[in-house]
Structure 1
Amino acid sequence: MLEFLLLIVGFVVLVFGADKLVDGASSLASKLGVPDIVIGLTIVSLGTSAPELVVNIFAAVNQNTEMVLGNVIGSNLFNVLAILGVCALIKPLTVKRTTTWLEIPLSLLAAIAVLVLANDVYLDNATSNFISRSEGLILLLFLSIFLVYNLILARKGKADVGEELHHYSYLKSTLFVLLGLGGLVLGGKLIVDNAVSLALSFGMSERVVGLTIVSVGTSLPELATSVAAVRRNNVDIAVGNVVGSNIFNIFLVLGMSTIINPVPVNPSSQVDILINILAGLLLFFFTGKGNRLLRWEGGLFVLLYVGYISLLVFQS
């Protein structure tokens, strides 16, 4: 019970830290003359993936490598199937053409890239599957291409650059940055330590804990942002926020994690990777036929996610 309570505290502190870090860093960057477009596409966008990044860094350093891949894949599945599913049930989602034909295919390409990187046995006749440091560097290079693409779109007025930025004094901005960093570090350590302990006590693998409890907790910022956007009728932002987060999770979070510690891929993870690709294909198919995600399609997403998680828990 104590470990579970500490895990919940870790999630609260982590999300709070990410929020304060984004507010403080955005305000400081604005005062230093950085354009709002750049701030929105870097600090704000990276902020939504900060929880996954910090948790994965701790997991990689502690050599809890099964949790590293599980958190990334689990977060992406939760983003598409649960968050977009719930948002579509609230209100059918309109999707911009650039999101449907450029960003969703890019997120699908990222998911396929993980499948390629995680199959050394079949592609290179290796003795085991793992994602190496050099492959992590390649993922970070893909991230730089995505950032440049977003910057070009934003300069042309064709991309959302995030919510209205806060402007604080230098002192308050700096305090928020320090508070945010402290919250991320403390929350991330609490989550990893107690998630591993819970996995051992319940006989669950680190992979399953990463795919379920940890991934849901680290995706709370995306859930809050997307639901709030739908309730304000900014339905296109909900889809863009989720797709952008999925791209950051693979290119940034997985890339940084594998640079710290190469990630072995066990056979069970291959199924998770394939389901992640299936979710991307369904999202592309549903939005491509009319630039909309309808209620019944959202309901199907939620059912798929509930079924997948139930199967994981049953097998564990």
Structure 2
Amino acid sequence: MLNILLLLVGFVALIFGADKLVDAASSLAKKLGIPNIVIGLTIVAFGTSAPELVVNVFAAVNNNTDIVLGNIMGSNIFNVLGILGVCAVIYPLAVKRNTTWLEIPLSLLAAVAVYFVASDMLLDGAGSNLISRSDGLLLLLFFCIFLVYNLMIAKSGNDDEETEAKDYTYLKSILFIVLGLGGLVLGGKLIVDSAVAIAQAFGLSERIIGLTIVSVGTSLPELATSVVAVRKKNVDIAIGNVVGSNIFNIFLILGVSTVVTPLQVAPAAFTDIFMNIAAGLLLFIFIFTGRGRQLTRWEGIVFLLLYVGYIGLLISQE
């Protein structure tokens, strides 16, 4: 019971820390004259991915590698099947923005990239499957290319688009940045430690905990952002938030995690890797082959049913 309470406290601290860090850093950046588009594509984007990043760094340092890969795969699967499924049921998601058209195929390529960097036994004849530090550096290189590309695309568009930011004083911004970082560190450590303890207490694998409780908890910022966006009929924000987060999770977070600690990939993890690819492929097919470049309510229901089926499969494997 105590570990479950600590897990919940960890999620609250993690999300609070990320929120305060984004608000304070955005306010400070605006005062320093940094363009709105740069704030949106760096500080805000990094902020929504901060929960996954912090949890994974703690897990990697503690050598809880099943939580590392489970959190990333679980978050990406939940983002597409869970979040976009819910959003499409609320309001059909029509893609209008050109950059989103490019990000959806890129998120699918990122999912496929995980399979290739993890398949040492099949592709290289190695004795085990390992995502190495060199693989992590390669993923980070792709992330840098993705970030530079996005900045170039954004600057060629409307650079004056306003980015919402709190108006804090310099001192308040710095204090909230420190407070936000503290919340992230405290939350990340509590989540990893309590998740491992819960797994041991209930006889569950760290992989299952990472794929379910940890991944859904760290994806709460994306869920909140996308649901609010779709209720306001800002469909591109809802889709772009999820797809962008999935790209960040693989290229940035998996990249950083494997640079910290190379990841041994268990055979069971390929179920999750293939599910992540399947989710990305279905999103691509539904968006680009259907009428009106949209994700319909029925397709949203299909996503939700697939997610429920996937969770059922995980439970049956234990």
Q: TM-score, normalised on structure 1?
A: 0.97
How far did 1:312 drift?
0.7
How far did 1:181 drift?
0.2
In the alignment, the residues of structure 1 paired with residue 99 and residue 150 of structure 2 have an alpha-carbon distance, to the nearest angstrom, of 11
Counterpart for residue 148 of structure 2: 148
In the alignment, the residues of structure 1 paired with residue 160 and residue 312 of structure 2 have an alpha-carbon distance, to the nearest angstrom, of 36
How far did 1:168 drift?
1.1
How far did 1:176 drift?
1.0
Corresponding residue SS for 2:268: helix
Counterpart for residue 310 of structure 2: 308
In the alignment, the residues of structure 1 paired with residue 128 and residue 238 of structure 2 have an alpha-carbon distance, to the nearest angstrom, of 39
Q: TM-score, normalised on structure 2?
A: 0.97
Gaps of 5+ in 1: none
User: 1:13, 1:186 within 8 Å by CA — same for their partners in 2?
Assistant: yes
Counterpart for residue 83 of structure 2: 83
User: 2:225, 2:238 within 8 Å by CA — same for their partners in 1?
Assistant: yes
How far did 1:99 drift?
4.5
How far did 1:148 drift?
1.0
Question: What does residue range 33-182 of structure 1 map to in structure 2 within 5 Å?
Answer: 33-96=33-96, 98-99=98-99, 101-157=101-157, 163-182=163-182
Counterpart for residue 18 of structure 1: 18
Post-superposition CA distance 1:46-88 (Å, at most 9, x none): 1111000000000000000111000000000000000000000
Q: Is 1:279 the counterpart of 2:256 in the alignment?
A: no
Q: 1:263 to 1:161 in 2, by over 3 A?
A: farther
In the alignment, the residues of structure 1 paired with residue 100 and residue 7 of structure 2 have an alpha-carbon distance, to the nearest angstrom, of 36
Counterpart for residue 30 of structure 1: 30
Corresponding residue SS for 1:63: coil
In the alignment, the residues of structure 1 paired with residue 7 and residue 108 of structure 2 have an alpha-carbon distance, to the nearest angstrom, of 31
Identity of aligned residues (%): 70
In the alignment, the residues of structure 2 paired with residue 240 and residue 60 of structure 1 have an alpha-carbon distance, to the nearest angstrom, of 28
Q: 1:264 to 1:162 in 2, by over 3 A?
A: farther
How far did 1:310 drift?
1.7
Counterpart for residue 296 of structure 1: 298
In the alignment, the residues of structure 2 paired with residue 267 and residue 280 of structure 1 have an alpha-carbon distance, to the nearest angstrom, of 21
Counterpart for residue 186 of structure 1: 186
In the alignment, the residues of structure 2 paired with residue 162 and residue 288 of structure 1 have an alpha-carbon distance, to the nearest angstrom, of 30
Gaps of 5+ in 2: none
In the alignment, the residues of structure 2 paired with residue 288 and residue 159 of structure 1 have an alpha-carbon distance, to the nearest angstrom, of 28
User: 2:35, 2:159 within 8 Å by CA — same for their partners in 1?
Assistant: no
Counterpart for residue 248 of structure 1: 248
Post-superposition CA distance 1:197-225 (Å, at most 9, x none): 00011111111110000000000000000
In the alignment, the residues of structure 1 paired with residue 2 and residue 300 of structure 2 have an alpha-carbon distance, to the nearest angstrom, of 36
In the alignment, the residues of structure 2 paired with residue 244 and residue 162 of structure 1 have an alpha-carbon distance, to the nearest angstrom, of 19
For these two proteins, the number of residue pairs brought into alignment is 316
